[in-house]
Amino acid sequence: MIRIYRQLLVAQIQAAAQYRIQALLWMLFSIIRPVIFLAAWTAVSTAQGGSVGGYTTSDFAAYYIALTIVGHLTTAWNSFEFEFEVRQGRLSPKLLRPLHPLHYSVVENLIWKVTTFLPLMLVCLVIALTFQVRWSGEWWHLALFVPSIVLAAALSFMIGWVVATATFWLQRINTVNTLLQRTSFIFAGQIAPLSLMPAALQVISYSLPFAYILAIPAEILRGGVTLERGLLYLVGQAVWLGLSIVAFRFAWRAGLREYSAVGA
Amino acid sequence: MYALTPMDAPVVDVRALRKVYRVTERETGLAATFRSFVRRRYREVLAVDGITFHIDPGEVVGFLGPNGAGKTTTLKMLSGLLHPTSGEATVLGHVPWRREGDFLRGMTLLMGNRSQLVWDIPAADSFLVLKEIYAVPAAQYKRTLDELTELLDLGPLLHKLVRGLSLGERMKVEFAAGLLHSPGVAFLDEPTLGLDISMQGRIRRFVAEYNQRSGATILLTSHYMDDVVALCRRVIVIHHGVLLYDGALADLAERMAPYKRISVTLRGSVGDLSTFGEVVSSNENLATIHVPRAQAAERTARLVRELGDQLADISVEDPPIEEVIDKVFASERPLAETTA
Ligand SMILES: Nc1ncnc2c1ncn2[C@@H]1O[C@H](COP(=O)(O)OP(=O)(O)O)[C@@H](O)[C@H]1O
Ligand SMILES: [Mg+2]
């Protein structure tokens, strides 16, 4: 498997090299939104004398920078790509080979993240300096963050694949994707850190998978959780990852029965 | 070679295979869109209607039928892309649509109008990926690639971007990509589609040679009868998803064409020959007449007798394969029924 990944990596880096500009644009785009919310919360907290619900201006900045990094590391375009591939007839050649189509996108996903990570960190550094951020974490926050971000990225990836399988039934899945993004926007901690949300919304957020992809790893990275809570969050992430894998396997099998290999 | 298939068992075994596509009806208008959420409307397309056949190891079989006959659908089921609506099939002893690793490693599906390669990189790099995916041992990979390079004259093509290759060049590279793992079964769907005559011939010779060298079993569809005549001793003909003929190419005309063709050359100009049969062409001193198969001998004798000295030459043949096929396909209902 490692040898397959290595060859895929070589091949796809070459192919991806032609789309460098698009990659950078996408990355910048994904940074803009957290910065807008950061600016808004900074304004609110300044107006209220420097803090809102226990979050200082610097805390907000730390949270949103963490969220930007996490958002970047958990990006997954699978569902969009998959729909496109099916329509272009590019799924069929992959199905003929003894390698699950999912593996190609693991490699693509990793390439995207690695190649854009450095510019992203530079941008984050600029933001951090602009908003005078102070990191308030302990060393074990970083130790927790590593498994947490891996689980979050895997969870995001698998949810992308579950949604992707909808293509087998719906041909077009923009509606599903939009719905998912809106839901994630509300419940993943993008509007505000979870603890500032109304109690009811918090309950919903912790019961849905989206916060386990964004808000939770971001809080851990920022240093905003206790060790016990942090460990509990990891368990939550693992459970959601397990569920998404089971859901994917089921949906994939059922979907292939519907597959009509149109245009291929 | 294949642990799961005894040597004499068919490599491809198809029983009552059927495929009905369900096509979602697209409705326009807001109300209709809402309604379609509740109850989806489907149109059913019967693509393959219960076909049965089997193919023995090493055979090269031509799969014939007009556009829309269900050839591609059948090949997609046999290569595991599609689940059939009903019926059974095994290929190399596996049920194709379970897509087991041993099955996928043992077969290939090549489509003339589809690309399996990544267009943005040279074929050589795609080949290396395939080598790992199929777990081809290094020595075997080198041997196979050398052989394919020689047979298809790939040398200069491997290191160019695939998107820069001509259609013919790309097809050669696609062939190599599809055969790198030395599959025991190859499904070829219109492999010469759109290629110029010399490239068609090239691919044809390659397929023949590959079959001889590797002993691979090949099921091939083509629009060009030349492909079939050159490669296949046996053909399977389907029309409207129904199997019309399965047997030797040589016997196809006898079974499918109810007439024979008599060609006569006269010393003078051709008079009225319509009493002998259907005159399909006549000019100057040459004429072609179609006569019912059963009466071919008697009509020929009559021609010789009545034309006497006027006759310079006469021959009786089956009509050319293309013509037979065209006639079969022109009939709306399966021929088996109309002639019965
Ligand atoms: N993906 C699909 N969805 C719906 N109908 C299809 C699909 N693919 C093929 N068909 C229909 O099934 C029939 C058989 O098509 P096909 O197998 O491609 O025939 P052939 O390869 O012999 O030309 C045709 O009527 C075609 O329109
Ligand atoms: Mg076809």
pLDDT in tens, B148-178: 998 888 989 999 999 899 988 999 999 999 9
- Residue B47: CB within 6 Å of ligand 1? yes
Evaluate if residue B196 carries a pLDDT over 80: yes
The predicted structure's pLDDT at residue A32: 82
Mean pLDDT (whole number) for B303-326: 85
Atom of ligand 1 nearest to the CA of B73: 17
Q: What residues make up the domain containing A188?
A: 2-262
pLDDT higher than 50, residue B335? no
Contact A256 B129 (CB under 8 A): no
Protein residue with least CA distance to atom 18, ligand 1? B72
Give distance in angstroms: CA of A201 to centre of ligand 1.
Answer: 50
Indicate the number of domains in chain A. 1
Q: Is residue B337 over pLDDT 50?
A: no
On the question of pLDDT at A36 being above 50, the answer is: yes
Domains of chain B: 12-253 (3.40.50.300), 258-317 (3.30.70)
By a Cβ cutoff of 8 Å, what residues of chain B touch chain A?
Answer: 21-22, 24, 76, 79-83, 97, 99, 101, 104-105, 108-109, 111, 114-116, 118, 120-121, 125-126, 128-134
Q: Is the CB of B191 under 6 A from ligand 1?
A: no
- The model's confidence at residue A28, banded by pLDDT at 50, 70 and 90, is confident
Where residue B331 falls among pLDDT bands split at 50, 70, 90? low
User: Is pTM, for the whole model, over 0.90?
Assistant: no
The predicted complex's ipTM stands at 0.85
**Residue B99 to residue A10, Cβ atoms within 8 A:** no
pLDDT at B216: 95
Per-residue pLDDT of B50-98, as tens digits, reads 999 999 999 999 999 888 999 999 999 999 999 999 999 999 999 999 9
A257 has a chain B CB within 8 A of its CB: yes
Residues contacting A190, CB < 8 A, separation 6+:
A33, A34, A37, A67, A184, A214, A215
Least confident window among A140-154, A156-170, A200-214, B311-325? B311-325
Residue A263 CB–ligand 1 contact under 6 Å: no
What mean pLDDT value characterizes chain A? 89
Q: Please tell me the predicted confidence (pLDDT) of residue A23.
A: 66
If one residue of B22, B44, B46, B72 were mutated to test the ligand 1 pocket, choosing by the most ligand atoms within 8 A of its CB, it would be: B72
